[in-house]
Amino acid sequence: MRVLVVGGGIGGLSTAIALRQRGVDVDVVEINPKWDVYGVGIIQPGNAIRAMDALGLADACIAAGFPMKGARMHLGDGTPLADMDFERPPGLREELPVMSGLRRPALHHILQSAVLASDADVRLGLTVASLVQLPDGVEVTFTDGARGRYDLVVGADGIGSLVRTLVFGRELRPHYTGQICWRCNLPRLPELDRLWMFIGARGKAGFCPLSPSLMYILLIEKPPPGAPDRAPKERLAAVFRERLEEFGGPIVAAREQIVDDDEVIVRPVDTIVVPPPWHRGRVVLIGDAAHATSPHVGQGAAQAVEDAVVLAEELARREIADAVDAFMARRYERCKLVVEGSAQIGRWEMEPAPDMDPAGVTVAVTNAASAPL
C-alpha cells in the first residue's frame, strides 16, 4: 500500500507515524516550506495521551511538558469555585498522567522527529494541485508539476483544507462562532499545577502550565460591541491586556506581563463538521479538515491523533473501501459530539441561559472522548 498524507501538522504526522508502524509506504507533503508551527501551547487530555502512547510518543510528550490532574474553576474576580479532577481513561498506562500541557513547537518537534525516523518521504513547500480518482487509486498532480499514484490520499491539511475543497466542493466551509481566542506564553505561577479558568462576562480567561517554567494565558471571548475581530499587530499586547481588565485575582499581575506583540496569538474560533462520510473514493479527510472544534473542551488535537490511530488500525485489518467505512463508524459520532458540545459551551458564554450547564457538558464530552477507541 502506498499512501499520500497531505498536511504536516498534528493529524498528518500522526497518520504517517501510525502507518509506518505497519509498514505502509507513506509520502507527506506540507505546503509550509519552513515546516514550523504557529501556536503557543496545547492541552493533552487523557485520551490524547493514550493515543500518543499508541504511537510510542506519550513518554516524550510528558517529559517535554507539564502533567496535570485536572482543572480549577474561578469567578472572574479570582474566587475559586471548584476543582475538577479528570478520571483515567480506560487503557491509559498508570504511570502516565490524566492530563498534560506542553508547548506547541515541542509537540511538533516530537512528531517531526518520529516521522523522519520512520523513513516516510517528506516534501516541503508543495501540496496537491489535482486529484483524479481511479478505480483502484488516486492520480495526484502536485503544485511543482510532479505526479504520483497512490492507493489512498489522506487529507490532513487543516480547517481550510484544500483536499476537502477539491473532493467535496467549495460549499463545505468553516463557520465563525462569534468568539475569538487570545493566547500568550508567560512564566508559570509556582502554584499552578492544573488548568485554571476564570468565568467572565463575555467569555473566560485561564492559565495552562506548559513546563516547570512556562504557562500560557488565554482568553476566549465575544469581542466587545463595536470592536473589530482583529487588532493591529503593533497593538496586540495592549488590546489583550485591555480585554483582560474585567478579571481579578492572579489575572491582574499576569496581564501586565503581556508586553510583546510578537508573542500574542489571536485567532477567530471557527468550526466545521463534514457530513458523513468523510471519504470519496480513495480520498479520506481527518482531523480539522473533517471536524474542527472550538477549544472549550481541549479536544481538537486529541481527536486528530485518534483519527490517525483508528485509520491505521482499520487499514491494517481490511481492504481500503471497507477500512474507510469502518473508520467512519468508529469516529463520526464521537467527533461530532466533541464539536457540538464545545460549540454549545461557547454559545452559553456569549448568551447565558437559565438552563446552561457548561460543567455538565464538559464532563459528558470528556467521558465520551475517554471511552475506548
Q: What is the mean pLDDT of residues 80-108?
A: 94
Query: What residues have CB less than 8 Å from 238, skipping those under 6 apart?
Result: none
Q: What is the mean pLDDT of residues 65-83?
A: 94
- What's the chain's average pLDDT? 95
Residue 85's pLDDT is: 86
* Domain at 328, CATH number: 3.50.50.60
Structural domains counted in the chain: 1
In a 10 Å sphere around its CB, with 0-12 CB exposed, 13-18 middle and 19+ buried, how is residue 89 labelled? Answer: buried
Cβ neighbours of 330 (radius 10 Å)? 17
340 is a domain residue = yes
The confidence score (pLDDT) of residue 225 equals 85
In a domain, 252, yes or no: no
Residue 126 makes CB contacts below 8 A (sequence gap 6+) with 29, 31, 142, 143, 144
Angle between helices 10-21 and 104-117 (to 10 degrees): 30
Contact 294, 159 (CB under 8 A): no
Q: Which amino acid is at 211?
A: S
pLDDT for 226: 79
Residue 349 in domain: yes
91 occurs within a structural domain:
no
Structural domain contains residue 206: no
Q: Is 207 a domain residue?
A: no
- CA 134 vs. chain centroid, Å, equals 32
- Who's near 164: CB < 8 A, 6+ residues apart? 155, 157, 172, 274, 285, 289, 290
193 located within any domain: no
**Contact criterion met (CB below 8 Å) for 107 and 16:** no
Domain coverage including residue 274: 2-67+97-174+270-370
pTM: 0.96
CA distance 295 to 343: 9
Cβ distance 231 to 239 under 8 Å? yes
Q: What are phi and psi of 113, to 5 degrees?
A: -60, -40
- The tens digit of pLDDT for each residue in 166-223 reads 999 999 999 999 999 999 999 999 999 999 999 998 899 999 999 999 999 999 999 9
Is 296 part of any domain? yes
CA distance 214 to 238: 21
Percent of the chain with pLDDT over 90: 90
Per-residue pLDDT for 229 more than 80?
A: no
